[in-house]
Amino acid sequence: MNKVFDSAAAAVADIPDGASIAVSGFGITHSFPSTLIVALRDHGAKGLEVFCNGLGASGHPTAQILAENHQISRLVASFSARPGPITPAEEQILAGEIEFEVVPQGTLVERMRAGGAGIPAFYTPVGVGTAVAEDKPMGEFDGSAYVLERGITTDYALLRAHRADRAGNLQFRGGSRNFNDSFAKAARVAIVEVDEIVEVGELRPDDIDLPGVWVSRIVRSTVRVDPAKLPRKAERGGDSRREYAGKPALSRAEIGRRAAAEIPDGGIVNLGAGLPNQIATWIGGRGVTLHAENGILGYGGFVDIDSADPDLHDAGGNFIDLHDGASFFDSVSSFEIARGKRLDAVVLGAYQVDAAGDLANWAQPGRPGGGIGGAMDLAVGARSVIITMEHVDSRGRPKLVERAEYPITAPGCVDLIVTDLALLRRDRESADGGFVLEEIAAGFTVDEVLEMTDMTVRVPRAPRVMQENW
The string of DSSP letters for 302-361 reads E--GGG--TT-B-TTS-BEEEEEEEEE--HHHHHHHHHTT--SEEEE--SEEETT--EE-
User: Any idea which of 5-14, 93-102, 167-176, 299-308 has the lowest mean pLDDT?
Assistant: 299-308
Is 271 a residue whose pLDDT tops 70?
yes
Is 96 a residue whose pLDDT tops 80?
yes
Is 470 a residue whose pLDDT tops 80?
no
This prediction has a pTM of 0.95
Confidence of residue 28 (pLDDT cuts 50, 70, 90): confident
User: Whose CA is closest to 345, among 259, 436, 222?
Assistant: 259
Q: Which SS3 state, helix, strand or coil, does residue 114 take?
A: helix
Enter the DSSP assignment of 210.
B
Percentage above 70 pLDDT, the chain = 97
Is 394 a residue whose pLDDT tops 80?
yes
* AA identity, residue 352: Q
Residues of the chain with CATH 3.40.1080.10: 8-223, 241-468
Confidence of residue 131 (pLDDT cuts 50, 70, 90): very high
Is 408 a residue whose pLDDT tops 90?
yes
Q: Please tell me the predicted confidence (pLDDT) of residue 85.
A: 77
Q: Please tell me the predicted confidence (pLDDT) of residue 465.
A: 94
Instruction: Write the class of the CATH domain 8-223.
Output: alpha beta
Q: Please tell me the predicted confidence (pLDDT) of residue 227.
A: 67
Mean pLDDT confidence for 12-36: 95
In whole angstroms, give the CA distance from residue 155 to residue 133. Answer: 26
Q: Please tell me the predicted confidence (pLDDT) of residue 405.
A: 94
Residue 192: strand pairing partners: 159, 218
Mean pLDDT confidence for 243-268: 96
Tens-place pLDDT, residues 274-297: 999 999 999 999 999 999 999 999
φ, ψ (nearest 5 deg) of residue 383: -70, -25
Confidence of residue 222 (pLDDT cuts 50, 70, 90): very high
Q: Please tell me the predicted confidence (pLDDT) of residue 234.
A: 59
φ, ψ (nearest 5 deg) of residue 168: 95, 5
Tens-place pLDDT, residues 436-464: 999 999 999 999 999 999 999 999 988 99
> Is the CB of residue 23 less than 8 Å from the CB of residue 180?
no
Strands 121-124 and 144-150: what pairing?
Answer: antiparallel
Is 230 a residue whose pLDDT tops 70?
no
User: Any idea which of 30-44, 70-84, 134-148, 282-296 has the lowest mean pLDDT?
Assistant: 70-84
The number of angstroms, rounded, from the C-alpha of 215 to the middle of its chain's C-alpha atoms is 26
Percentage above 90 pLDDT, the chain = 85
User: Any idea which of 78-87, 113-122, 312-321, 339-348 has the lowest mean pLDDT?
Assistant: 78-87
More confident residue, 229 or 412: 412
Residue of 293, 390, 438, 439 marked active site: 293
Q: Please tell me the predicted confidence (pLDDT) of residue 20.
A: 98
448 is catalytic: no
User: What rounded mean pLDDT belongs to the chain?
Assistant: 94
Mean pLDDT confidence for 63-73: 97
Tens-place pLDDT, residues 165-208: 999 999 999 999 999 999 999 999 999 999 999 999 999 999 99
Q: Please tell me the predicted confidence (pLDDT) of residue 233.
A: 60
- The structural architecture, per CATH, of the domain 241-468 is 3-Layer(aba) Sandwich (3.40)
* AA identity, residue 237: G
